[in-house]
Amino acid sequence: MLWLTLLPSWISFLLIVGAANAFAIAATLLARRWYLRLGVTAGPAIVGAWATTLGALAAVLCAFTIVTLWSIFAKAAQNNDNEAAAVRLAAVDMSAAQLPLLRHYVDVTARSWPRMCGGTPNPQVVAALSALERDAKARSPEYANDLNRQLGTLEEARYQRWQDSKSLTPIELKVALCIIAVTLFGVLAIALPDRSDTHLALTVLVATALGSVYWVMTALSYPYCGDYSIGPDEIVSSMRYLSH
């Protein structure tokens, strides 16, 4: 779903909801044509119970997935805040001669940000942080422990950022959601109410609702990609403290 996340939100919404509606309407029309050819004019009474059960199961799984993805997104945002704070505090604790090392690390981190859209860590960021940890000196002995703590925070934040850069939604959960959605559309397709326009309208409503949920899941799958994402602005803005 990475390519969908990289698209503008309104385009990904139209694609996902449109695909869900196209599949649901096609399934409904095919089922109606088949059943009407057989002379069936009303779906079995148990269809309602099946649809209710599948709808409840789909709602539970979708809610669980969205809550999980939102938790990951919130954790990534907090991690970004912690990294920016560590940069500012490290600038205070470091000697003026080593401030260019910290500035270089921030610059390299900002330039490598696009690689976090489901990509791989940038070796230049690792090298810049290693050089910072190796060569940074505290402005005075009483700041040494504080500086080491901030550098450790930068290392942890960098690692966590790359961990969160990839979608953590299990593939098994994605498959289960797709199977439930297809099954639900299949059950609704054999409901066969007397009015075909009502049947299609209800199918479109359900497909739009499920498509919208999938769209939200797509938007949250990658914290550092898409229109709704975490950018490097806060970390970059911390550079203004480096001259102090």
* Helix, strand or coil, per DSSP, at residue 112: coil
Whole-model pTM over 0.75 = yes
Q: Are 5 and 226 in contact (CB under 8 A)?
A: yes
C-alpha span between 55 and 210 (Å, rounded): 10
Higher pLDDT, 36 or 140: 140
Contact yes or no for 227/9 (Cβ under 8 A): yes
- Distance (Å, whole) CA 71 – CA 92: 32
Mean of per-residue pLDDT scores for the chain: 85
Position 36 scores a pLDDT of: 74
Domain map of the chain by residue range?
A: 2-241
Q: What is the pLDDT of residues 191-213, one digit of tens each?
A: 777 778 888 888 898 899 889 98
Q: What's the confidence (pLDDT) of residue 43? A: 64
Q: 138: which strand partners?
A: 94
- For residue 84, name the pLDDT band (cuts at 50, 70, 90): very high
Give Cβ neighbours of residue 158 (< 8 Å, ≥ 6 apart): 83, 109, 125, 126, 129
Q: For the chain, how long is the longest CA-to-CA vector?
A: 90
Q: What is the pLDDT of residue 119?
A: 72
CB atoms within 10 A of CB 219: 22
Q: Which tens digit of pLDDT belongs to each residue from 18-73?
A: 999 998 899 888 888 887 777 766 666 667 777 788 888 888 888 888 888 888 88
Q: Is the pLDDT of residue 241 over 70?
A: no
Q: Decide if 216 contacts 73 (C-beta within 8 A).
A: no
